Amino acid sequence: MTKTTMMTMKKRTVITKRSWRSMAACVAVMALAALAQPQAAEQQAPQPQGENPQATDKQQTPEKKNRQKGEKSYALIFGTAYGPDDRPLYGVKITIRPQTKKRPNWELMSDHRGEFAQRVPPGPSDYLIHGEAKFAPAGPDGKPQISKTKTLKGDTKVHVENEEQLDISVHLTE
């Protein structure tokens, strides 16, 4: 039989005093760096736009810069699902499809505030948003009555013109 002994090391915290000289030196270096930056910018001679290839990058719109980085452009459909009592509903199944297609392209669920969001391709197109939820009304004791479950449905049409955010609401009824 072999015995193994394990040694543990204690963790020690060492507090060192910083001298005021080192703090003053750090502040002085930072001040000099801040003063040197504007002077370096002034020393650079402006070049004509034809000679500097970087000048064209500065003149591009933010949309073009994002596309160069690999990000695609999109439109955003943001909405809220409301129940028959005009309060936001949680857990509503939302389907979004182009008006020209029969099957939905996106399926979502509304959050605790009844909100949902979906990125769609930009450009002129129409979308149909359908919401559906099961609803159990509360009884006299405050508990939901499962036997009287109702299905709530609602539809909304949206037209997307370009890269934009559309705020919509889907009102669900029996």
Query: What are 148-164's pLDDT values in tens digits?
Result: 899 999 999 999 999 99
Give the whole-angstrom CA distance, residue 174 versus residue 172: 7
Q: What are phi and psi of 90, to 5 degrees?
A: -90, 140
Residue 92 belongs to some domain of the structure: yes
pLDDT of residue 135: 83
Residue 23 belongs to some domain of the structure: no
Residue 160 belongs to some domain of the structure: yes
Expressed as residue numbers, the domain containing 101 is 75-171
Residue 150 belongs to some domain of the structure: yes
pLDDT of residue 44: 57
Residue 127 belongs to some domain of the structure: yes
Q: What is the DSSP string of 85-153?
A: TSSB-SS-EEEEEETT-SS-SEEEE--TTSEEEEEE--SSEEEEEEEEEEE--B-TTSSB-GGG-EEEE
Owner of token pair 């690999």: 70
Residue 89 belongs to some domain of the structure: yes
pLDDT of residue 31: 76
User: Is residue 96 a contact partner of residue 121, using CB atoms and an 8 Å limit?
Assistant: no
Residue 16 belongs to some domain of the structure: no
pLDDT of residue 103: 92
Task: Name beta bridge partners: 138.
Answer: 144
Q: Does pTM surpass 0.85? A: no
pLDDT of residue 171: 96
Residue type, 14: V
Number of domains comprising the chain: 1
Residue-wise pLDDT tens digits, 52-107 = 545 445 555 555 555 566 778 999 999 999 998 899 999 999 999 999 999 999 99
pLDDT of residue 55: 47
Residue 120 belongs to some domain of the structure: yes
CATH code of the domain in which 107 resides? 2.60.40.1120
